[in-house]
Homo-oligomer: A and B are copies of this chain.
Amino acid sequence: MSAPLVDRLRDRGYRLTAQRRVVAEVLAGDNTHLSADEVHTRAAAVLPEISRATVYSTLQQFSALGEVRELALGGAAKLYDPNVEPRHHHLVCDRCDAVYDVARGVDAPDLPAQEHHGMVLDAAEIIYHGVCAACADTAVIADPEE
C-alpha cells in the first residue's frame, strides 16, 4: 500500500539510522506480538551492536507515530503489534501468555458520556482471557484423575 515505514520516518523529519531501519525490518517481518526484548534479540542478529536502550526508545517512537501498537496484556512485558490496521482485539492465555488476534468485526460498546468520568476517550481494548489448547493439555497430563 502506502510508502514503507522508513519513508514515513524521513518525511516526518526523523533521521534514518541503521538502528531504526533494523527495528522497522524486524517489525515488518509480520512477527506479531513481540516484546521489546525479542525485538532487540532479532535486531541484534542483523546489527549486533544495537543497544537495548535504542530498541526501547525506537519502539516508543514508532508507537507514538502509530506505526506499531503497544499492548499491555497480562504478561510481564509489553508487546508490540505491527498490525495496527485494522484495529483488533486479543485473546490471551493466562497460563503461558500466548496471544491470538480477534478477527475484525468484534468491538467494545461505546460508553455513554455520563460514564466518562471527565475523561477524553481514545480507544477501547478488549482482552479475552482463557487457557490455550496447549496449556489445557498439559493440565490434563499433570492431573489425569477423574
Instruction: List chain A positions with a Cβ less than 8 A from chain B.
Output: 72-74, 91, 93-94, 100, 102-103, 106-109, 111, 115-133, 136
Contacts and interface: CB of A to CB of B under 8 A. Distances in A.
A108 B73 CA distance: 16
A120 to B, nearest CB: 5
19 contacts: A91-B121, A93-B119, A94-B122, A100-B117, A102-B111, A106-B115, A111-B128, A118-B132, A118-B133, A119-B128, A120-B130, A120-B131, A122-B131, A123-B128, A124-B126, A124-B127, A124-B128, A125-B127, A127-B127
Contacts of A120: 130-131, 136
A6 B130 CA distance: 29
Nearest to A123: B129
Contacts of A116: 91, 130
Contacts of A123: 128-130
Contact of A128 (B91, B121, B132, B136): B121
Contacts of A129: 121-125
Contacts of A107: 109
A94 B125 CA distance: 13
Contacts of A93: 119
Q: Which 5 A-B pairs have the closest CB atoms?
A: A118-B133, A121-B130, A100-B117, A119-B130, A72-B74
A27 B116 CA distance: 25
A122 B128 CA distance: 7
